[in-house]
Structure 1
Amino acid sequence: MAIYMDEIVKQMLQLSCKLEHTVLNSDSEPEEWVLLLDERQYLMKQLDEGILAGEVLSDHQKMLLAQIHGIDQRLQPIMLERKQGVEKKLREIQRSKTAVDAYHEAGPSAYGAFFDSKK
């Protein structure tokens, strides 16, 4: 079972490195992040089950888990910043949509012109 735990930890590290590479790529989409995080979460669940079944982590496995933790600590602020940027853009879009809707309520426009009923 120790070999199985080794494999889980190594896969978690590989996924964490891939996540780091993806997040640091400014063109990446958060949906990609979610897929990698879901895969990693599944491995974490398996690791937890192994520990609950009585498996003991070796020093090497603990070192790899510390590397994974370090990656997480570096990525969290970056991911939070990108999330806040997306939320800001959504708020701006909503404000623009609200403004456009307010003008459309005034009725149809003639030949591309509109009549501003606000005063």
Structure 2
Amino acid sequence: MEKTMELLLQELLQRTISLEKSVTESETELDEWNILLDDRARLISEVEVRLSAGEKISDDLKQRYLAKVYEIDKNIKPKIEARQQKIKEQLSNIRKTKLARQTYYDDGPSGYGAFFDRKK
């Protein structure tokens, strides 16, 4: 049985609220975010298909669901971007550490922890 437009929008709002909770919690895994984002993308594409087929969304549905989804998206976007930036910085630090280890510690640290630059 095919879902009504209202059920699709209601499900989209529920997924968005779940995403907001997940993003707000500091210890959540990014895989959880990806699952919720994929579900939302699927729902959005279903709504777009119906809209392109000529189905309309009433003003009441826009107010009850889409306006709330938009507000939540606006609030969580900076949090997601901040987390992405933090992860990029961590990856950069890991790459720098790995490069330093490959460059200077091929034979293992020597000199009782002293640093000898043999690559000059």
Q: TM-score range by the shorter chain?
A: 0.7 to 0.9
Q: How high is the TM-score relative to the length of structure 1?
A: 0.87
- Contact kept, 8 Å, 1:108 with 1:114, in 2: the verdict is no
- Contact kept, 8 Å, 1:16 with 1:71, in 2: the verdict is yes
Q: For residues 7-86 of structure 1, what are the structure 2 equivalents within 5 Å?
A: 7-63=7-63, 64-86=65-87
4+ runs deviating over 4 angstroms: 112-115
2 CA distance for matches of 1:52 and 1:42? 15
1 CA distance for matches of 2:21 and 2:12? 14
**Which structure 1 segments of 5+ residues have no match?**
none
Residues 1:62 and 1:115: Cα distance change in structure 2 (over 3 Å): closer
Match of 1:98 in 2: 99
Match of 2:89 in 1: 88
Task: Give the aligned CA root-mean-square deviation in angstroms.
Answer: 2.2
1:37 deviation in Å?
Answer: 0.6
Percentage of pairs with the same residue: 31
**Which structure 2 segments of 5+ residues have no match?**
none
How many residues align structurally? 116
Deviation by residue 1:57-80 (Cα, 9 ceiling, x = unmatched): 112211110110111000110000
Q: How high is the TM-score relative to the length of structure 2?
A: 0.86
Structure 1 residue 5 corresponds to structure 2 residue 5? yes
> In structure 2, what residue type is equivalent to 1:60?
D
